[in-house]
Amino acid sequence: MKVAVAGGGVFGLSAACELAGRGHAVVVYEDDRNLPGMRAASRDVSKALRHEYGSETALYAPWVSRARELWFDLERESGRRIFHPAGFLSITSAPFEPGSFECDSFRVLSELGLPVQYWSADEGRERFPGFNLEGVRALTYNPDGGWLDPVEAIRALAARAENRGARIERGRRLENPRAQGADAVLLANGVWLDRFVTELEIPLRATRQYEGFFRPENPVQAESRPIPVWSWDVASRGFYGFPLHPKDGVFKAACHLPGPRVDAEDGRGPDREAHAAVDRFVRERLEGIGPAEEGRCCFYANSPDGRFVIDAWPGKDGVFIAGCGSGHAFKFGPLLGEWAADSVEGRGAPEPFLWTAERRGHEPD
């Protein structure tokens, strides 16, 4: 089968790898000449790999564990360093009780047998003195978490796709889902997805999400007292961040709560208001923070319920959708490709990602 893929980000390239590996003739159309594209959500310095999903941990955590192993496979194949096992620290200043993101995550991960640990604030200070934990009620630590290098990941996926026979057309946009004489078309073009799916009425919401970068006051001390990937009251305040980047020498911190709505063609430059909020939080909670670098914005392609959409386009034979990453898709990487390829081959993606009538009735906030 001839398959045309729109988009050379994590959805599109992972799908291309899998489809080509299954014997299909695949062409990927990427509007940018760079991989990952300069405006793509896949272009970043780091992406978190965490198992913690609050009330949806039972759904996502087993898939995160499988994706983690698939990333290791890609590392061995490509020789690139993709996953950095820094651990994941979840911090809360709210009561640690059922119904809270942190407590629900911890309970399910413990039941699944993951090596997650519960700490008091005093235990957290002893392990990671780089945090100001005043007012913190509880912490959980998962050593299986960490972060992914998205540039290395995308380049490894592109190489795998081409090694399996896929062709990547850089600097070419797929303008028409029926073009190029393909038997099937997979739309995996992130926040540009709504250019095609207006008829389907997916209420895709593109939002601007600010990322801040901070130099340590003392780089030697920062390297000697490493911190993990972390989140802080993530369900209510949304803050999260990363260890000192080994190449760039900066800490990255951001807010996961939905930002202002944007169009896919808007600029990705810094956001002064969002920068101020992240800067205040980082200087309050992280020790030894020095000057701030110029930040940047990435765009989330959000579905109404925060779950991905991987499904056939109803009423349009041979057209499929893989997207709506909603700010948490990258960690699943190669697994996204398996689900998208299953969809194209008619077996269907997992039920939570199908664009069902029930999901179509879920209105965005």
| CB distance 244 to 251 below 8 Å | yes
Distance from the first to the final alpha carbon of the chain: 40
pTM for this predicted structure: 0.95
Chain segment 19-38, per-residue pLDDT in tens: 999 999 999 999 999 998 88
CB neighbour list of residue 249: distance below 8 Å, 6 or more residues apart: 215, 216, 219
DSSP H/E element including 66: helix 57-78
| CB distance 188 to 340 below 8 Å | yes
pLDDT at 358 over 90: no
CB neighbour list of residue 273: distance below 8 Å, 6 or more residues apart: none
Identify the pLDDT of residue 181: 83
Ordered domains of the chain (ranges, CATH): 2-44+150-203+304-360 (3.50.50.60), 57-148+205-302 (3.30.9.10)
Chain segment 219-263, per-residue pLDDT in tens: 888 888 899 999 999 999 999 999 999 999 999 999 999 999 999
Chain segment 92-145, per-residue pLDDT in tens: 999 999 999 999 999 999 999 999 999 999 999 999 999 999 999 999 999 999
Identify the pLDDT of residue 334: 98
Q: Is the dihedral of CA 259, 59, 203, 312 positive or negative?
A: positive
The secondary structure of the chain in percent helix, strand, coil, rounded to multiples of 5, reads: 30, 25, 45
How many other CB atoms are found less than 10 A from the CB of residue 258? 18
Q: What is the DSSP letter of 130?
A: T
Nearest to 13 by CA among 63, 78, 61: 78
Q: Which residue has the tokens 């604030």?
A: 121
| CB distance 46 to 364 below 8 Å | no
| CB distance 323 to 194 below 8 Å | no
Alpha-carbon gap, residue 81 to 155, rounded angstroms: 11
| CB distance 204 to 324 below 8 Å | yes
pLDDT category, 362, cuts 50, 70, 90? Answer: low
| CB distance 52 to 101 below 8 Å | yes
Q: Which residue has the tokens 């640990």?
A: 117
